Amino acid sequence: MYSDATPEALASSLVNGWPSGGVFSNEAGVVLGGHGMNKDVAMRNMARLNQLWDGKIAATDRVTTAGYGDTAARLTMSLQVQEPTLRAFFDNTRGLARGTGFLARFLVAWPESTMGKRMFTSPPDGWPALAAFNSRLTAILDRTAPVDDKTGVLTPAMLTLAPDAKQAWVDFHNQIEAMLGTGGELYDLRDVGSKAADNMVRLAALFHVFAGNIGPIDLECIESAVQVITWHLLEAKRFLGELAMPPELANPMRLEAWMIDYCRREGTDKVPTREVQRNGPGGLRDKTVILEAVKELAELGRARQVTDGKRRLIQIRPELLVTAS
């Protein structure tokens, strides 16, 4: 398990150490903002990570470090990152994260903040589902790893699809492919959409192994994977659609959506500026940024800044609250 390693170091460790690994970070700015992702070497390192997604490491021939030939490996990544950090990563790599297909290999999730709603509740006496989950993971980890003793290379069993499961995979692949064409629902998400069928069948394989099923991957695993991957596609579309906008357009949209939710919940049409600074959407905590967003909304007739004594408030157009409901 790794938390901060350059793609080159990862490849070397997977070849010369253990051929399976994972990069896990809840502060992924360390990973995405590190030396290995600066603009001078980003393309090369993303290409290496893309190869690892394919389950292989390309040969190297280095004088300064030990070279190695083509080999098999497995790598997973789980990165949690704040939106401003991810925006900076996209800007710094000048679009390479999408152009190289790097981001397309991830399952994107952009959950809304639950701040202000996280009221304390006493935990239950037991967690039977979690205990069963942990027990099953332990049983899988206790198995002997499929590693060739002589070469140190992974030799996992080949999984196949049952006929009805394969047909369901083909149907999903074709549906996604049709959406990628000009005017299609996923036209602006072609990089992510092009990997959706691959990610879906990989997830189905994980469900199959976790359940302890014997034989080909069945239709139930495929259908479950379709639901999960479809959710992540919608998340990617929502996030990347907004990420592609310049901040001067994205910030007013995000502020308005957050204010509508706040006002409906609190039964008001005004939000204190301090409340936005404390609990507003990520990237909109700076007073100057908030005022710029309010100014844009005011020009569109959708919100305005008002005062109540010494308090500064943002008032949203009442009709928007009715429309939102």
Strand partners, 217: 161
Single out the residue of 302, 293, 166 nearest to residue 221, CA to CA.
Answer: 166
List pLDDT tens digits, range 117-131: 789 999 888 999 999
More confident residue, 222 or 50: 222
Q: Give the pLDDT score at 85.
A: 80
- Evaluate if residue 324 carries a pLDDT over 60: no
C-alpha angle with apex 207: 205 to 209, nearest 5 degrees?
Answer: 70
List pLDDT tens digits, range 23-45: 998 887 777 776 566 666 778 88
User: Quick check: 238 and 110 in contact, CB under 8 A?
Assistant: yes
- Evaluate if residue 201 carries a pLDDT over 70: yes
- Evaluate if residue 8 carries a pLDDT over 90: no
More confident residue, 245 or 65: 245
More confident residue, 293 or 4: 293
C-alpha angle with apex 34: 32 to 234, nearest 5 degrees?
Answer: 0
How large is the average pLDDT for residues 313-322? Answer: 91
> What is the spatial distance between Cα 200 and Cα 227, in angstroms, rounded to a whole number?
9
Give 72-86 as a 3 state SS string.
ECEEEEEECCCHHHH
- Evaluate if residue 325 carries a pLDDT over 50: no
Q: Give the pLDDT score at 313.
A: 94
How large is the average pLDDT for residues 135-141? Answer: 95
pTM value? 0.75
Domain annotation for the chain: domains and CATH numbers: 7-106 (no CATH), 130-243 (no CATH), 247-324 (1.10.10.10)
Longest Cα–Cα distance of the chain, Å, equals 78
> What is the spatial distance between Cα 263 and Cα 241, in angstroms, rounded to a whole number?
25
